[in-house]
């Protein structure tokens, strides 16, 4: 089956731009003193270095090496386009242009060699071995000693020191006399002895103080 060929605007634009850049590089090399086949080899060298750096970026991801040589080749291509647009007198090229064109083959050879033979740092390191894991502690399955007595059971609960009884609060004599009057009044009205709770309520004193007063009333 014959496949239909449809023109691609991007591809056509790339072919036109590549042809113009190729011609400008050839003209610049010819103006710098490179004649014959050597003038045609310069644009091929620049374009191949550009393609090699781009393929390295696509294959291994962004890297300083690939980006450096991609920018060098791109600068050489753009420089040729600008130089042949009338910014330089190609009939009398400057010395630095001759120097740059003459040194380009060695620079392109270095860049192509590095791009082709230098591997990615991630692949050089290889797989990282997993860190050794600590051995699991085996449970102690030894037979327990049935004759052993637990320390806590053998010694028994620790005896707590006996707490000292709280001292009885001191009762003023005037309060005892007033309490005695209250107790006599209660006996006269009810015929029974006043209890501690009633005494505490009548005097408005704490329970401990009421107990101490009741002891003195007996």
The dihedral built from the CA positions of residue 175, 181, 182 and 183, taken in this order, carries a sign that is positive
Report which of 52, 55, 45 is spatially closest to residue 109, judged by C-alpha positions: 45
**pTM exceeds cut of 0.85:** no
Contact (CB, 8 A) for 57 and 70: yes
Report which of 71, 82, 106, 68 is spatially closest to residue 25, judged by C-alpha positions: 82
E-strand spans in 13-172? none
pLDDT tens, residue order, the chain (218 aa)? 456 556 678 788 878 877 888 888 888 888 888 888 988 988 899 988 988 888 888 888 888 888 999 999 889 888 888 888 877 787 888 888 889 888 898 898 998 888 888 765 544 444 545 555 655 555 555 555 555 555 444 454 555 555 555 566 677 777 778 888 888 888 888 888 888 888 788 877 787 777 887 777 77
- DSSP symbol at 83: I
Q: Output the pLDDT for position 150.
A: 52
The dihedral built from the CA positions of residue 68, 60, 57 and 48, taken in this order, carries a sign that is positive
Contact (CB, 8 A) for 217 and 180: yes
Domains of the chain, by residue range, sit at 9-122, 173-217
The separation between CA 63 and the C-alpha centre of its own chain, rounded to angstroms, equals 23
Q: What is the DSSP string of 6-57?
A: ---HHHHHHHHHHHHHHHHHHHHHHHTT--THHHHHHHHHHHHHHHHHHHHH
Side-chain-side CA neighbours of 10 within 13 Å: the count stands at 0
Side-chain-side CA neighbours of 97 within 13 Å: the count stands at 22
The pair of three-digit structure tokens given for residue 8, joined into one six-digit string: 């691609």
Contact (CB, 8 A) for 25 and 77: yes
> What is the rounded distance in angstroms from the CA atom of residue 159 to the CA atom of residue 55?
86
């Amino acid at each position: 089956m014959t496949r239909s060929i449809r023109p691609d605007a991007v591809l056509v634009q790339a072919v036109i731009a590549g042809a113009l850049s190729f011609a400008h590089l050839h003209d610049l090399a010819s103006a710098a003193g490179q004649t014959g086949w050597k003038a045609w080899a310069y644009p091929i060298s620049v374009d191949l270095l550009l393609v090699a750096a781009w393929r390295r970026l696509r294959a291994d991801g962004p890297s300083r090496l690939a980006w450096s040589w991609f920018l060098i080749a791109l600068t050489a291509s753009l420089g040729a386009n600008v130089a042949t647009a009338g910014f330089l007198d190609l009939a009398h090229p400057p010395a630095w242009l001759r120097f740059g064109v003459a040194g380009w083959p060695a620079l392109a050879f270095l860049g192509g060699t590095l791009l082709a033979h230098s591997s990615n740092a991630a692949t050089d390191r290889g797989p990282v071995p997993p860190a050794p894991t600590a051995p699991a502690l085996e449970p102690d399955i030894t037979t327990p000693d049935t004759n052993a007595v637990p320390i806590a059971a053998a010694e028994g609960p620790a005896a707590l020191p006996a707490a000292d009884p709280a001292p009885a609060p001191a009762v003023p004599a005037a309060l005892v006399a007033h309490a005695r009057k209250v107790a006599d009044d209660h006996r006269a009205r009810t015929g029974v002895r006043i209890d501690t709770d009633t005494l505490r309520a009548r005097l408005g004193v704490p329970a401990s103080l009421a107990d101490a007063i009741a002891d003195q009333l007996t």
